[in-house]
Chains A and B, each alone.
Chain A
Amino acid sequence: MRIGVRRTGGFAGIERYAEVDTSGRPDASEWQALAEEAVAAGRGTPPIGVPDGFSYQITVDGKTVYCADPRLTEAQSKLISQVLTEGA
């Protein structure tokens, strides 16, 4: 499973992208469960964000959903933070 997170906006307006490929990872099933939960709560179009808030685009195996601060679900927030920290 390939999980990509694109973060845009923010006070600085600087974009970040990171991706994790879970295949072959010992924790692949945890990633998969988290990603599915995060995507299920996402929107098909970008929500209107708040001033200086981060906007996120989560892509899991080709399917893309959107969400924005400060209204993330716990799964979205956890997935985003894990991908941006561990991903390349």
Chain B
Amino acid sequence: MTQCDIAAMKATHPVFCTIVPPHVLDKLAQADDPALAGPARRTLEADAAQRTHRRLTTVLGAPPAAPPADAAGDKPHRTLYDAQHRQELPGVKVRGEGDEPGQDATVNRAYAGLGATFDLLLKAFGRRSVDGNGLPLVASVHYGENYGNAFWDGRQMVFGDGDEIFRDFTLPVDVIAHELAHGLTQYTANFTYFGQPGALNESVSDVFGSLVKQYVNDQTAEQADWLIGAGLLAERVTGVALRSMKAPGTAYDDDVLGKDPQPATMADYVRTGRDNGGVHINSGIPNRAFYLLATALGGKAWEGAGQIWYDTLTGGGLQVDASFTDFARATVAAAHARFGDGEEQEALLKAWSQVGVPTG
């Protein structure tokens, strides 16, 4: 038994089981040669997994606000903050649950988007908030100056007003739901935010983001546009959205932004150390599998395909470092448990096979 094994057995503190110094690992991990970058990245990834776990434990131990007395009920508990263009969280409280809409359209959109996400989780899947236990939903808007991004910090959502490329990140409801779905993943499968599990984490957020948009618009799978972030690109950018679940790689092609780098199948899987190992790139593959399943089944996507994805995410059968193949196999098991050997099973196997992810 090595010293690392021993350390890992009593791992109350982070364990660094490598003889390669972190800065060398980091250099290797940044290398463009995947043969060099791969092993270094995997080591850093193991470290990241531990830290993600610690963060989750922290979050579970200390929710952002005490749930109200009726949290076990069927109502969201939303609190909106205005970061006032600074980068300190959460900022100044501007709207609590049940308060009337104010003058700020960004606040109102975020409030409505959180409500829509809460609604879908409850009505379609019987889940009370992202943790299943009425977790209060907290979001800050107007974050930073000229800030073209939105993120989930482990406890709350954060939205910027955009920059020369992106508009206000609260404009598309699927972007709001995408961020909140990172909370859902954190409290369930908790996929490590790197490489394939990281791309699954991203894909799950796109899937639930799109489902919330379809739910709000009362659309069937055929009627949906399957775009993520439609309306987010500034007028001068050539593109329709940030990602397309239907046709990954086709959302934009712009002289400043470049071309949408998402692959649609495993044959075009992108190996990179950037973007946490391409989490926003390779998510195109499971995204398209979901689209293929949902359109094959037809009707409301959250009823069939969405239910299978939800069961997979919450089923407890996946490791935090699950690969695409692990996830695909788990969807097959979840579909079998939920729907038996019906058309769902057949459509699911076909969808994964079309994107080149083995299920056998």
Contacts and interface: CB of A to CB of B under 8 A. Distances in A.
Interface in B200-238: 201-202, 205, 229
A42 to B, nearest CB: 12
A44 B87 contact: no
B89 A48 contact: no
B243 to A, nearest CB: 9
Contact of B23 (A8, A10, A45): A45
A32 interface: no
A77 interface: yes
For B87, B146, B179, B202, the residue with the greatest tally of chain A CB atoms inside 10 Å of its CB is B87
A28 interface: no
B182 A12 contact: no
A44 B166 contact: no
B2 to A, nearest CB: 23
B32 interface: no
State the main secondary structure of chain A at its contact with B.
loop
B175 interface: yes
Nearest to B48: A48
B193 A48 contact: yes
Given A11-B242, A44-B22, A85 B89 contact: no
Given A8-B274, A11-B169, A13-B281, A48 B151 contact: no
A49 B193 contact: yes
B274 A15 contact: yes
Interface stretch (A18-26, A33-41, A50-58): A50-58
A15 B87 CA distance: 21
B23 A70 contact: no
A51 B205 contact: yes
A70 B275 contact: no
B276 interface: yes
Given A12-B242, A44-B23, A70 B153 contact: yes
Interface of B: 22-23, 25-26, 44, 47-48, 51-52, 87, 89, 145-146, 148-154, 158, 166, 169, 175, 178-179, 182, 193, 201-202, 205, 229, 242, 257-258, 261, 274-276, 278-281
7 contacts: A9-B276, A10-B149, A11-B169, A45-B26, A51-B202, A52-B151, A53-B151
